[in-house]
Structure 1
């Protein structure tokens, strides 16, 4: 009789994460007020799976991304990657662990240092891990550029010589160079022309299928997440108010906010409606 298959371990576990931001004191002797921007967030990502988080500006999505990337520490709760509590690690150990999780930022025009050549930008994560072999760095940078549809000859160019879509491909190459298990992509196509958005999303889907990397995709657009992810989480005012497959959530939304959000969202390549009913004046952050 064959031995039972051991249970598969999760890649990322976000366990009861809440977060508060301190505000300036209203007076010299007054206590510092705070605002709670995340409320008991829980979800997991399995190896090879991609999860999308959708919500309007102020829902707390980018704050959650910073906590998952260990750029900030949650007020309460835990973030575990491959079973390791990221916020309990010593700094040196966390620096090495970052090889397993990388980030692609929203704005390809500000996330790439305009003073550096592309090879230095793409190899930044490797150099942060202590890699100093110049020939090896150049080789790996060329390999990553070709993987995202650019050419090795682009290594000596500067960011201003590329279009927005090409810059985001460079940012993806930088995230891939450590061969991470997880890439957190915070609004990766929102700054791009609609004609380029699908190209970048198709690249991410191809990388997921060929490299096996998982994505946590953060967006205000349901159509973007539908393109890439198996699971969709809807955030509103710092809470997850609905979850399910993108098709389930889009076709049969249950929460009133989800219904308003979907009604307000255009498809990729279409213009946004003038009235966005899911937006609120009291967004958190």
Structure 2
């Protein structure tokens, strides 16, 4: 099977807890916290493991929180490659108010990287990568790392003969969407991000597919995938093909982790030799599985396979 390497430049130690009521100015008595390794690529690696696959998690770890992330991944059987950037790993906090069910998520930015940190991580990843790998950069960029740095990294990786599946947002997504890199195998985004890029509403599946074709024509990637929530995902390829993959209806518990689970299912299927369409079906199944679990649990292998089999595929 093709090796999968996930890349997380801004990992996190995610703590989650609950309190009876959340209000300002009060001491909030919380239950014992749960700790999870977090960050986009880390979550993709964890979800791949839940689906029965394996990946190598390349990430920047530092300080006590970084060591805790390393330990948590080790317990889950996920091998780690440290990029050697000595910045302390950030910590995030999620609190659920038991009386209302509302969730409050406090997301930290991470420490600022220097130019030396950026160069060191780039060199480390390029030494790690080998021809044929599937590289999955995912998640936010830490302060000090700009979209141009990520574009430069993917350009160097592409020369090595890897395939890149990118799931990012904000300015980084904007940089790749304009075709600055022309090195991606797949660019994936959700509907909100797609509408922001397009500068217009994408109300229908046809609207989304048209925008996907615009991105492919601009050189953003060989294939573009846009997630449309409960309606599934739309795949458009450089061959002019397009499909809408729709999952079955499921009981939604938490939408957290659906995107990371999609990327996990999609990339694992690619690594096993599936086409982009077959991989999209597997990704949609994994995303459907993820929304039926609590927010920190991501997807489940058995249900992901079942939901993939129940998904419908419509050619566009």
**TM-score with structure 2 length normalisation?**
0.30
The structure that has the greater radius of gyration is 1
The higher-RCO structure (CA 8 Å, 6+ apart) is: 1
**TM-score with structure 1 length normalisation?**
0.33
